[in-house]
Chain A
Amino acid sequence: MPADQVSRTPRIARNTVIDASKLNLTFETNDGPVHALRDVDLKVEAGEFVSFIGPSGCGKTTFLRVMADLEQPTSGQILVNGVLPEVARRNRAYGYVFQAAGLYPWRTIGGNIRLPLEIMGMPKAVQAQKVQEVLELVDLAGFEKKYPWQLSGGMQQRASIARALAFEAGILLMDEPFGALDEIVRDHLNEQLLALWARTQKTICFVTHSIPEAVYLSTKIVVMSPRPGRITDVIDSPLPRERPLDIRDSPEFLEIAHRVREGLRAGHAYD
């Protein structure tokens, strides 16, 4: 694979953030090989909000983890910011938000957000300033000295997003970040996430299994299906970037949701 040469020379257009071609990933298990990803081709442009939707086992989380260099593809090529995921990770090109908030119970909210900054060796004054900035960004100003257990689940997840934003990576990878939260909190956080995206101009890759969430948030929806994990449909959303919550009752919204649902159903017809 000529990837070694490619890795340090951004050959692709500058505004392509994720570029995957013929990506395959096979896990060897006791029950034989599992095709987590088969022939995945996808381009994500800078500033896009891309949702990955599909039933469990369709490889959407695996794909996100490949972007983050947490899994290695078996074959095919993927570039993040024009370089290999490993290089992108070393450059701290992305922030990753996991399913659970994953805040350290022995650190305050401020301390948790500071953690990646400490690891990256930023000066103390810069750390303090960044913490303030992102806390305001996620609407948690004043909670710096609180411990995680003193916050609700939704607030913890917001703190976790703040932590991923703190070191100013251009890409935000989010793996079902609101999956464990109730519908009302979820709506609220979705709205806030859109506002945050508009303000920070980041590229967001967002894994979800909720159709309304995917349609409401995304400029591009990637529909995936399992066994083997593959992309069955890529929908460019015609919805405007400004999206009030009640856009979800508009005919355009329902039309996209319908198309996503059809895509998911088609994927299931294989087995």
Chain B
Amino acid sequence: MRNILPVLTVILALLVVWYAAAFQLNKQWALDMAARQDRVMTTQQLIADTWAQDKPKLPAPHQVAVELWETVALKNVTSRRSLVYHAWVTLSATLAGFGLGTLLGTLLAVGIVYSRVMDLSVMPWVIASQTIPILAIAPMIIVVLNAIGISGLLPKAMISMYLSFFPVVVGMVKGLRSPSQMELDQMCTWNASGVQEFIKLRLPASMPYLFASLKIAMAASLVGAIVGELPTGAVAGLGARLLAGSYYGQTIQIWSALFMAAAVAAAAVGIIGIVQRATLKRMGLDR
């Protein structure tokens, strides 16, 4: 409870800045309209107008809140006008990509740790893959997969995977290599097999690293799924909402989609955090 005051203070400060910015950015439009219609506005009217426009440059917080409320709570979740529906479309691709990315990342990490050839040959490509802007190759992935008859969730999941396997590789390589020489020698004195060494030592030792990576991978996955929805003019998903919003100047819709994306990311990362705490607690690593 002690923390609530500072948290509220920060939120309040953000809201004040936001309202002020909305006034500043939307002021010109309001003044132009007034001039065209030949009417004079009081300051009060001007302020009220900047916070209630249909297509403001920057919507006021309460406009976004109302839009969120209407599209989340008041619409049937199966409806195309429901933001929950769009969020689920994006989330399903995110989760599929996250799962694939985690699997791919873990397999690559195991290969890199156990094979010097893979360490030298694969790792540079893993790093190079992340230097390519995802926006540049996302359309190509979509088009290529579409050409061979794959569309829908999978192409988006592939883009998510492309972004999310990287932190898992890096974290798991570090984690699987975290046992000290002494711990490895110890295993040797017990005449442990390679599989036993992996399961009893390397894998458990890598868990804290894995969870740190999974959180980054989840956030990256969501970005990937949204980016995957942009270039094809997808009809559903948070990316589609962002795209449609920008076509028609629906800034309120854009902002509410952004907030929805943030909420989904926060929830997903939060769930990983809960799993992390439970796992590490069971492993006695949580102090």
Contacts and interface: CB of A to CB of B under 8 A. Distances in A.
Partners in one complex: yes
A94 B189 contact: yes
A100 B182 contact: yes
A99 B190 CA distance: 17
Task: Tell me which of B190, B205, B283 has the highest count of chain A C-beta atoms within 10 A of its own C-beta.
Answer: B190
Interface stretch (A19-27, A115-123, A186-194): A115-123
B200 interface: yes
B284 A96 contact: no
Contact of B191 (A70, A92, A100, A108): A92
Contacts of A167: 190
A167 B191 CA distance: 12
A69 B182 CA distance: 14
A58 to B, nearest CB: 20
B185 A106 contact: no
B196 interface: yes
A92 B201 CA distance: 19
Contact of B190 (A104, A106, A107, A116): A116
A102 interface: yes
Contact of A106 (B188, B189, B191, B204): B204
Contacts of A106: 204-205, 207, 283-285
Interface in B180-224: 180, 182-183, 185-192, 196, 200-201, 204-205, 207
A105 interface: yes
A90 B204 CA distance: 25
B203 to A, nearest CB: 10
Nearest to A96: B189
A68 B200 CA distance: 21
B2 interface: no
Interface residues of A, number: 26
Interface string A147-159: 1010000000000
B116 interface: no
Nearest to A105: B285
Contacts of B287: 149
Given A105-B284, A106-B284, A98 B190 contact: no
B185 A98 contact: yes
Contacts of A116: 190
A241 interface: no
Contact of B189 (A70, A107, A108, A118): A70
A89 interface: yes
Given A98-B185, A106-B283, A89 B191 contact: yes
Given A98-B182, A107-B284, A119 B200 contact: yes
Contacts of A149: 284, 287
Contact of B182 (A68, A102, A115, A118): A102
A155 B192 CA distance: 26
Interface string A74-92: 0000000000000001101
Interface string B157-183: 000000000000000000000001011
Nearest to B185: A70
B280 to A, nearest CB: 8
Nearest to B197: A119
A92 B188 CA distance: 10
A119 B196 contact: yes
B284 A119 contact: no
B191 A147 contact: no
A177 to B, nearest CB: 12
Interface string B104-115: 000000000000
A98 to B, nearest CB: 5
Given A107-B284, A119-B192, 8 more contacts: A68-B189, A70-B185, A89-B188, A94-B189, A98-B182, A106-B283, A120-B190, A120-B191
Interface of A: 68-70, 89-90, 92, 94-96, 98-100, 102, 104-108, 115-116, 118-120, 147, 149, 167
21 contacts: A69-B188, A70-B188, A70-B189, A90-B191, A94-B189, A95-B189, A98-B185, A102-B180, A102-B182, A104-B183, A104-B205, A105-B284, A106-B284, A106-B285, A107-B284, A115-B190, A115-B200, A119-B187, A119-B191, A119-B196, A119-B200
